Structure 1
Amino acid sequence: MMRQDEKISVLFIDDESNNLLSFQATFRRKYKVFLANSPAEGMGILNKEQIQVIIADQRMPQSTGVEFFQIVRKAHPHPIRILLTGYTDAEAIIDAINKGEIYRYIKKPWDEFELQNAIQNAYEIYITREKLNRKISELEKTNDELNRFVYSTSHDLRSPLASVMGILNLAKMENSVQDPNGYLGMIETCVNKMDTFIQKIIEYYKSIRVEQEYTRIDFNVLLEESIQLFKMQRPDITYSINVDQPGDFMNDAFRMSVIIDNLISNAVKYQKPSEPNPKVEVTVKADDKKATIKIEDNGVGILDNHLNNIFKMFFRSNNTVNGLGIGLYIVKEALTRIGGEISVHSTHGEGTAFYLEIPNYVNMPDPGHVRKEALTESK
């Protein structure tokens, strides 16, 4: 960050010596001026000095100003770029502005007042971006520290909860405690709910922190492993799996498991107590481009005015069910990281269907690189 008494650092690039001398004579008292008579010399200065504003002539022997800025934008993205032109290169200039290579252009011969205003405005943009970047870095650091704290605390909390559950089980086995009002059962329910919540926090932390690792996925195996757990919890539910996977499918197996587990868990959790034939149906159709997945139940359904909020953290669409309001948020976060999409259709009182589209990276030479580029573009 510059001090108030420091001058703005301006790099001026022009192949004509007279223009260089004229710029220096006009602005040397106002700014810290650096001069270069070629793009190569200008790049050398950028590699050594902290420059806030770059001004370059459009027509130079070695390259045009726009071509130079195309390189500068990648190598030194922070300085604000101004183009000087005495020609009507309208298409090139408009294209450069649209692509972000230049902040603005000024016609030659330049006017001192106009150029001074352009430099001042460019510097203000530079300072604003610097402040924003610092704030982003501070927020990322704070967020990382908070995530680590939550993860560490969650791990530490599971140990005493396990001890409480062990004592409750021991008391039930030995019949050593008289409990006519069922208080032990209430305590056990609360402890189980807290333990589930802690597990969800740990799951969320891993989902946002663990690096993507792309492996081949067999949907039959993935779904069977997930459903086996829920069959033990709710053996009365009929589970139906229909997988059409003729070839290989590649994506992040960990996050795929997180997504499937949470959606099936929701389908099981929000079944109607009065339903004589509760069911959960999972349909998968995978090809070399993507997998389309449908997870449907005949449970309580979701109210129409709640559908836009179900992926928000701690939102619960049905207060009669013992949910946490974090499962679908975790699903959405995991899907974002692997490039997937989700939609939902629900009829209150009849059931809910979630529809997923997940990309197949089997033909990608470097799927991790592809995903990082996609995340960068979305910011």
Structure 2
Amino acid sequence: MTPRNSTKLIRVLYLDDEDNNLRSFKAAFRRDYEVYTANNTEDAFSILKTHKPQVIFSDQRMPVTSGVEFFNAVRQVFPDPVRILITGFTDVNDIIDAINKGHVYRYITKPWSEAEIKVAIENAYDLYHTRKQLRTKIEDLEKTNNELNRFVYSVSHDLRAPIASVLGLVKVAHLDVKEEQAVSLFNKVDQSVHKLDLLVNNIIDYYKNSKAAEEFVEVNIENLVDDVLNHLHSGESRENVNIQKSVNQNARFFGDYFRIRIVLSHLIANAIKFKKPDQDRARVDLKFAIDAEEIHIRVKDHGVGILHEHVEQIFKMFFRGKDQMAGSGLGLYIVKEALAKMGGSIDVTSSPGEGAEFHICIPNVSKDSDE
């Protein structure tokens, strides 16, 4: 049982219309517990408001209000106390009502024994104490989660303005500064700030993916790919990538446009980022096969590929292979998390120097519709 301060007795309320039962109950347990009694619901509610008992007993058969009806009213106003029904009958319907309407912890049949009542009180208090602790922990977690959300939102968005300013200043410097060493230093600044910008964007994507509600719409593949390319690196990707797209569509596709865009954005960004040094333009092959059940997406690049020992690690948070240090270590983790939100899956095949191919499968939420 939960240890408690022995100087603080458990507060117990007993409601019964028969005064003899109330006197007997109080005489039996007043030394061990702080006992309050009431012979009508009005007095019982007054005691609940004033003394806040942790355990409530109520007789079931009373002339005005049944024990179940009383408990049903109590839990609307005072949900914390643990409720125990005392009844001289074992009517199944009463028991069902007690569980469904009164949300009772247990019921005890008359005539009750002192030992049974004591066990019931101690166990009920343990439950009361555990619920209170759990509620406190939930409140603490909600507070921490809200603070974390505010922190992530503030940090990620407040960083965007200075990052944009630094990138703008670097562009101006490239126009005005011609000295070789200075240009080299500005190039390093530009690369570092772009890495920071990538990390901030990934944090925002992670935050949005974890918080955004699912919203299913009909997805137009052509618009989807255009949206992705327009989003990547302020349009520079269109000049740096050769997209080969194939669509085999046998049904309308409905899915979470926001998360599908996240998936394709990160995969195409990786294809561009990890092209071979001798490639002027990254090449990405996109294949979409859509039927009434699901959509299969294949994203194949022709870049440096993934080391065999890294294939099983690439979807872990912050994993970056030694030959792929340009990434943030978040992109593919976000991809897998977004797919998990949609009930999708992903696998990859790759060899060093031969590129990588990602296979994504996402359920078509229209499969049960009549359209």
TM-score by length of structure 1 reads 0.70
Secondary structure of 1:298's counterpart equals: strand
Question: Does residue 1:323 correspond to 2:324, yes or no?
Answer: no
The CA distance in 2 between the partners of 1:49 and 1:355, in whole Å, is 59
Q: 1:6 to 1:334 in 2, by over 3 A?
A: farther
Query: Could you say what the CA RMSD is over the residues aligned between the two structures, in angstroms?
Result: 4.6
Of residues 246, 249, 253 in structure 2, which corresponds to 1:240?
Answer: 246
Structure 1 residues not aligned, in runs of 5+: 364-379
Secondary structure of 1:346's counterpart equals: strand
Q: Contact (CA 8 Å) 1:65, 1:83: kept in 2 or not?
A: yes
Q: Contact (CA 8 Å) 2:241, 2:284: kept in 1 or not?
A: no
Structure 2 residues not aligned, in runs of 5+: none
Of residues 72, 79, 82 in structure 1, which corresponds to 2:81?
Answer: 79
Match of residue 295 from structure 2: 293
Question: Does residue 1:50 correspond to 2:52, yes or no?
Answer: yes
Question: Does residue 1:176 correspond to 2:182, yes or no?
Answer: no
The CA deviation at 1:195 is: 0.7
Match of residue 199 from structure 2: 197
Match of residue 313 from structure 1: 317
Secondary structure of 2:111's counterpart equals: coil
Q: 1:269 to 1:229 in 2, by over 3 A?
A: same
Q: Contact (CA 8 Å) 2:68, 2:102: kept in 1 or not?
A: no
The residue correspondences of 1:219-368 to structure 2 (distance < 5 A) are 219-220=220-221, 221-229=223-231, 232=238, 234-243=240-249, 246=252, 249=254, 254-255=258-259, 257-262=261-266, 264-265=268-269, 278-285=284-291, 292-299=294-301, 300=305, 307=312, 312-316=316-320, 318-321=321-324, 322-331=326-335, 340-349=342-351, 351-357=357-363, 359=365
The CA deviation at 1:186 is: 3.1
Q: 1:6 to 1:305 in 2, by over 3 A?
A: farther
Question: Does residue 1:185 correspond to 2:187, yes or no?
Answer: yes
Q: Contact (CA 8 Å) 1:263, 1:295: kept in 2 or not?
A: no
Secondary structure of 2:227's counterpart equals: helix
User: Which piece of structure 1 moves more, 229-238 or 340-349?
Assistant: 229-238
Match of residue 142 from structure 1: 144
Match of residue 121 from structure 1: 123
Q: Deviations over 1:208-252 (max 9, x none)?
A: 456x485744433334312454551642242334455548x586x
The CA distance in 1 between the partners of 2:112 and 2:43, in whole Å, is 22
Q: 1:126 to 1:244 in 2, by over 3 A?
A: farther
Q: 1:94 to 1:194 in 2, by over 3 A?
A: same
The percent identity for this pair of structures is 40
Q: Contact (CA 8 Å) 2:308, 2:350: kept in 1 or not?
A: yes
Q: 1:129 to 1:234 in 2, by over 3 A?
A: farther
The CA distance in 2 between the partners of 1:310 and 1:129, in whole Å, is 41
Question: Does residue 1:35 correspond to 2:38, yes or no?
Answer: yes
The CA deviation at 1:192 is: 0.5
The CA distance in 1 between the partners of 2:198 and 2:344, in whole Å, is 24
The CA distance in 1 between the partners of 2:350 and 2:203, in whole Å, is 29
Secondary structure of 1:185's counterpart equals: helix
Secondary structure of 1:352's counterpart equals: strand
Q: Contact (CA 8 Å) 2:19, 2:39: kept in 1 or not?
A: no
Q: Contact (CA 8 Å) 1:66, 1:93: kept in 2 or not?
A: no
Count of aligned pairs: 350
Q: 1:355 to 1:246 in 2, by over 3 A?
A: closer
User: Which piece of structure 1 moves more, 73-82 or 109-118?
Assistant: 73-82
The CA distance in 1 between the partners of 2:164 and 2:55, in whole Å, is 61
Q: Which has the larger radius of gyration?
A: 2
Q: Which amino acid is 1:323 matched to?
A: G
The CA deviation at 1:292 is: 3.0
The CA distance in 2 between the partners of 1:190 and 1:330, in whole Å, is 22
Q: Which amino acid is 1:327 matched to?
A: G
The CA deviation at 1:197 is: 0.6
